[in-house]
Amino acid sequence: MHPLVSPPPPFSLKMSTVSAASLESAHVAESTEQKKPLKPCCACPDTKKVRDACIIEKGEEHCSDLIDAHKDCMRALGFKI
């Protein structure tokens, strides 16, 4: 090593203040998101997907069982359908 260059500091596992702050803010944001009410567009994605595919492929009149299943899922989550 060159005599004018100092050796690197010893490796430390201590987390920097910036890293710790970003983890804390991520945790706060996560808990805030959990408190937001569920929007109807985001509820029951599994039943919504198969219902929509059926309606596109076969028409609404041939998908009443899937439509009803999606409505039941929405009602179970508290939506008034």
Helix 64-76 to helix 45-58 angle (10° resolution) is 160
Mapping DSSP to helix (H, G, I), strand (E, B) and coil, where does residue 31 land? helix
Does 44 carry a binding-site annotation? no
Does 41 carry a binding-site annotation? yes
- Residue 51's Cβ-count burial label (10 Å; 0-12, 13-18, 19+) is buried
**Binding-site residue set for Cu cation:** 41-42
**Binding-site residue set:** 41-42
